[in-house]
Structure 1
Amino acid sequence: MADSTTIDVAHGEMSRSEAKGKAPLLATTHQVFAITKAMEREDNKIGYKRGVATFDFILRLCALAAALAATATMGTTDQTLPFFTQFFQFQASYDDLPTFQFFVVAMAIASGYLVLSMPFSVVCIVRPHAVGPRMLLITFDTVMVALTTAVAGSAAAIVYLAHNGNSSANWLAICQQFNDFCQSVSGAVVASFITVVIFMFLVVLSAVGLRKH
């Protein structure tokens, strides 16, 4: 009985010793698991931010194409109606209206800004956690939203009058005569509204990128 008890006690002491020896190992295992999980979450976060920045860059290319198309189309719009003599002709050009002149200047500014913003968008791809470039982009993107919306809306109003006129103010619809001119300016206005929508998406993307920081 004595031997049996001694063996039991010894066995119990061995169990406690083994438990004490395994406790640090278990703690270390939990720490490694927690660190691994944290690293996985950080990698996922970096991948998410890099994906947002890449989509931002692609949208800027699309916005640049739309803004350049609007600027070039409006800036080259000109139509002359043929008549019997070269001394008596009717001509319609974008620079006949201050609204269209403002449209060309503003869309050219938007195009230049988009070109200058490309390097900052690339920085956001390379350094997904960078806050400064995103803050700069979201600030100027918001300004561009206001500018392009103003010029697109004002030009759309002139195009509407050119197509439909206004009988109350005795403004005649000129698109029946200057059909090519109206088609060109209408296309430029459509391209400008596409630019506005893309700028809005860019602001949202920058806000999402900052929110996940």
Structure 2
Amino acid sequence: MNSGDSTTIDVPDSAAGGSAAAKGKAVSVVAAPPPRPGGMKKGVAIFDFILRLCAIVTALAAAAAMGTSDETLPFFTQFFQFQASYDDLPTFEFFVIAMALVGGYLVLSLPFSIVCIVRPHAVGLRLLLLILDTMALTLTTAAGAAAAAIVYLAHNGNPNTNWLAICGQFGDFCQKVSGAVVASLITVVVFVVLVVLSAMALRRI
């Protein structure tokens, strides 16, 4: 090899090709918009509607069970009869009225829940349901807790205040009022889930 000769090696411009490929990749990433979370919101709205149907059943069942709780003992005479009815106690009357109001509200809220399924991004309607559900939750909790206290006294009594346990004699009456209280507590749990779902839906909007 002579000293005067020179050897030239052609190197492909990989940097230019790499930058072009990188630009192509960058363009493809930017061109794909992030999906909107409408599917999750719609699923939450459908679950909300199902829970409202369940709450209607439990609330109206609680009102019906308490409203029909009436028992008369078989051993009575013309002048004396032993009877237990829900309207003997103002607490049970309040329970029936409260649970009937809650059941009526749940029925009226079904169309709004359907609108939330069709339009899962409706903020105002979801906020309205959240406020009304919170109010209904408060009313249901108050009615259920007050009735539960009376049912406890009916089962166990209170010797300090000479409150006698009556469930040993009025078994059917106590069974109905106890079932009504259990149904109201189930309604409370459903309302708590409804409030949490509405809060989650508003947070993700």
TM-score between the two structures when normalised by the length of structure 1: 0.84
* Equivalent of 1:122 in 110, 114, 117: 114
Q: Tell whether 2:102 aligns with 1:110.
A: yes
Q: Tell whether 2:55 aligns with 1:63.
A: yes
**Could you tell me which amino acid in structure 2 is paired with residue 205 of structure 1?**
L
Q: Tell whether 2:123 aligns with 1:131.
A: yes
Partner of 1:161: 153
Alignment gaps of 5+ in structure 2: 1-7
Q: Tell whether 2:30 aligns with 1:34.
A: yes
* Identity between Structure 1 and Structure 2 (%): 66
Q: 1:28: how far off?
A: 6.8
Secondary structure at the residue paired with 1:168?
helix
Q: Are the aligned partners of 2:76 and 2:82 in contact in 1 as well (CA < 8 Å)?
A: no
* Equivalent of 2:192 in 183, 188, 200: 200
CA distance in 2, matches of 1:203, 1:28: 47
Considering fraction of residues, name the structure with more helix: 1
Q: How many residues align?
A: 199
Secondary structure at the residue paired with 1:38?
coil
Secondary structure at the residue paired with 1:128?
coil
Partner of 1:190: 182
Deviates more, 1:91-100 or 1:81-90: 81-90
Q: Could you say if the C-alpha distance between residues 35 and 126 of structure 1 is closer, same or farther in structure 2, counting changes exceeding 3 Å?
A: farther
Q: 1:37: how far off?
A: 4.3
Deviations 1:90-140 (A, max 9, x none): 111101100000000000010011011111111111111110111001101
Alignment gaps of 5+ in structure 1: none
Q: 1:142: how far off?
A: 0.6
TM-score between the two structures when normalised by the length of structure 2: 0.87
Q: Which runs of 4+ in 1 moved over 6 A?
A: none
Give RMSD over aligned pairs: 2.5
